[in-house]
Structure 1
Amino acid sequence: MEFANKEYLLLLVLLIPYILWYFIYKKRGEPTLRMSDTNAYRYAPRSWRIKLMNLPMFLRCITFVLVVVILARPQTHTSWGSKTVEGIDIMLAMDVSTSMLAEDLRPNRMEAAKEVAAEFIADRPNDNIGLTIFAGEAFTQCPMTTDHTSLLNMLQTVRTDIAARGLIEDGTAIGMGLANAVSRLKDSKAKSKVVILLTDGSNNRGDLSPMTSANIAKSLGIRVYTIGIGTNKVARYPMPVAGGVQYVNIPVEIDTQVLKDIAATTDGNFYRATNNRELKQIYQDIDQLEKTKMRVKKFSKLYEAYQPFAFLAILALFLEILLRTTLFRRIP
């Protein structure tokens, strides 16, 4: 707590002469009664009224102190300053081609990837994280942000049917997805810049090859962690047919060599996830990435805090007047 008008606190010095006047000079001016002998009253017990005779004066002093505090304008606020937190700039590049509907992970590759990515985001509250999605084309779903609530909401809206509905071309443009993520990191000032690239196929679309994008990432000091998601050999896939869905086995064709080369070129790592547990462990491993320090400014807002003092001042003044005019009333 602090005071906006601290100079008013000097008024509290006036209490000293008042208290001296009350106990020294005011006592002398009170009416007296002469008696020939007071010995009979020497050991007489003092009533509670006599013991509390000075209570109105103390209440008057308390009221004065509280009024002075109110004039000084007490204020509360959160402290100004800055703090250092750990953080890193990360772009998630996620494959949303129709093959991500395969159910070799539960409930399918897409939902499993979204669930684990959401946990990863939630565990890194100080990081700038963005999201790129790609199939036969690539675009930024969410630019890098520390507003992870908005990022998680956008992540949950990611669907694989955007390619099935013709909103973007189907296929797997790994090079384009990586390039889009890299473009979001190229102006970053962070010490550590990372792309986490997740796909279940091999590059078959786009104008940029995966290795061209990898070399661009390397020149910008961006590390790429690649994840190949899906079981080995074949996977159960829901094939839409007239009036329903028919499940078929489709081959798993992940270009692991290209993913390894991308990771090696950019000093990242390649991971293979064949089930939900392995995918979760991969993100936990990546979570151990080097963090870079960032200075965050913390702002404050002032709040007037006179209300409790005003309430107590009114209460003390009311009690003082009540006691002075009833229980401790003096005649004359």
Structure 2
Amino acid sequence: MTFLSPERLWLLALVPLLAGAYIILQMRRRQYAVRFTNLSLLAQVAPKRPGWRRHVAALLFLAMIILMMVGFARPASSVKVPRDRATVMVAIDVSLSMMAKDVPPTRFEAAKSAAKKFIRDLPSRFNVGVVSFAGNANLVSAPSADREAATASIDQLVLAKRTAIGEAVFTSLQGVRSFDAQASQDPPPAHIVLLSDGDNTTGRTVQEAIDASRAAHIPVSTIAFGTPYGTVDIEGETTSVSVNKETLRTLADNTDGKSYEAADAGQLTDVYANIGSSLGFKIEHRDVAARFTGIALLLALAAGGVSLAWFSRLP
């Protein structure tokens, strides 16, 4: 819980003063009775009554005051609200290293399968676009609600040389800006999900991509896919293609996204499911002061009822 006017909480500092004043008055009252009253006569005139009852109304009143002070500070609860025009850009690495068979049947085929499931499982209100990247980046499916077009574009992907992670981010950002007629002036809330197994080897740098993403207020979540043991055969030569996790982590951490790692198809599916559950929402703070005011009112009624029932007077 948060408070929309937290500066008003200073009023709670008065509560110990009220409690202290009440305790002092009770002590003075007892001393006064002992000083000016014959104890044996007092026992006859004022029959013994449960002393604790005298404090119930005061405690209820004090609790009411506390709740009213908290309500005055405008407490608010955080709720997830679906974003209108929410857009997810799925960027998939199609560099030659994705031929590695450390993830069966290959990294490439496993990545395509998981990406298609991720797209199909997204809520229908989401728009989704697809970007492929190797030596350069291409928008292969413009963002829309058409799931069939998006998944079909993934089936058409082909492998190529080099890895342009920075270009993939810039192409994804451009896809968001071209989403609809108002996107250039009022871009839709968006999130980029980028899967790769390598480092940025060509095109604009990852730092430039970070700067552009932050300027557009679009986070980039990354998935480092593969194991340290992947190899590929290129032109008759076997090359090790271990995953470069640090580059992807840097991209995610500096754009307010999240970085994930997946070493097999099952883990990749879980990662996509985790990402999908958090996209397309914004956090809003809704004022819940009425709850505190209502409870305070009930305590006030309880204090008055107790006082009338036991002492025939209001507190």
TM-score range, shorter chain: 0.5 to 0.7
Q: Give TM-score scaled by structure 1 length.
A: 0.54
Q: Does 1:212 align with 2:208?
A: yes
Deviation digits for residues 68-121 of structure 1 (CA, Å, limit 9, x no counterpart): xxxxxxxxxxxxxxxx99762011111101111111112111111110111111
Q: Does 1:174 align with 2:165?
A: yes
Q: Give TM-score scaled by structure 2 length.
A: 0.57
Structure 2 CA distance for partners of 1:150 and 1:290, relative to 1, 3 Å? closer
Q: Distance between the aligned counterparts of 1:182 and 1:209, measured in 2?
A: 15
The aligned runs of 1:1-332 (5 Å cut-off) are 88-124=86-122, 125-160=124-159, 163=160, 170-186=161-177, 187=183, 189=186, 192-206=189-203, 208-232=204-228, 234-239=229-234, 248=238, 250-292=239-281
1:264 maps to a residue whose letter is D
The Cα shift of 1:252 comes to 2.9
Contact 1:129/1:145 (<8 A) preserved:
yes
SS, match of residue 211 in structure 1: helix
How many residues are matched?
194
Structure 2 CA distance for partners of 1:85 and 1:268, relative to 1, 3 Å? closer
Deviation digits for residues 148-204 of structure 1 (CA, Å, limit 9, x no counterpart): 1111111111121xx2xxxxxx20111111111111123375663100111111111
Contact 1:118/1:152 (<8 A) preserved:
yes
Contact 1:87/1:292 (<8 A) preserved:
no
Q: Which residue of 1 aligns with 2:45?
A: none
1:261 maps to a residue whose letter is T
Q: Distance between the aligned counterparts of 1:87 and 1:277, measured in 2?
A: 30
1:177 maps to a residue whose letter is A
Structure 2 CA distance for partners of 1:85 and 1:140, relative to 1, 3 Å? closer
Q: Distance between the aligned counterparts of 1:127 and 1:192, measured in 2?
A: 10
SS, match of residue 230 in structure 2: strand
SS, match of residue 277 in structure 2: coil
The Cα shift of 1:273 comes to 1.1
Contact 2:252/2:258 (<8 A) preserved:
yes
Q: Distance between the aligned counterparts of 1:86 and 1:278, measured in 2?
A: 30
Q: Distance between the aligned counterparts of 2:118 and 2:125, measured in 1?
A: 12
The Cα shift of 1:255 comes to 2.9
Contact 1:202/1:253 (<8 A) preserved:
no
SS, match of residue 103 in structure 2: coil
SS, match of residue 201 in structure 2: coil
Q: Distance between the aligned counterparts of 1:211 and 1:85, measured in 2?
A: 28
SS, match of residue 115 in structure 2: helix
Q: Distance between the aligned counterparts of 2:139 and 2:84, measured in 1?
A: 25
Contact 1:90/1:194 (<8 A) preserved:
yes
RMSD: 2.3
1:180 maps to a residue whose letter is T
Percent identity, aligned pairs only, is 29
Structure 2 CA distance for partners of 1:272 and 1:292, relative to 1, 3 Å? closer
Unmatched 5+ residue regions in structure 2? 1-81, 178-182, 283-315
Unmatched 5+ residue regions in structure 1? 1-83, 164-169, 294-332
Q: Distance between the aligned counterparts of 1:239 and 1:261, measured in 2?
A: 29
Contact 1:190/1:292 (<8 A) preserved:
no
Q: Distance between the aligned counterparts of 2:248 and 2:99, measured in 1?
A: 21
Q: Distance between the aligned counterparts of 1:115 and 1:86, measured in 2?
A: 28
Q: Distance between the aligned counterparts of 1:150 and 1:273, measured in 2?
A: 26
Contact 1:192/1:290 (<8 A) preserved:
no
Contact 1:228/1:272 (<8 A) preserved:
yes
| Larger fraction in helix | 2
Structure 1 or 2, whichever has the larger Rg, is 1
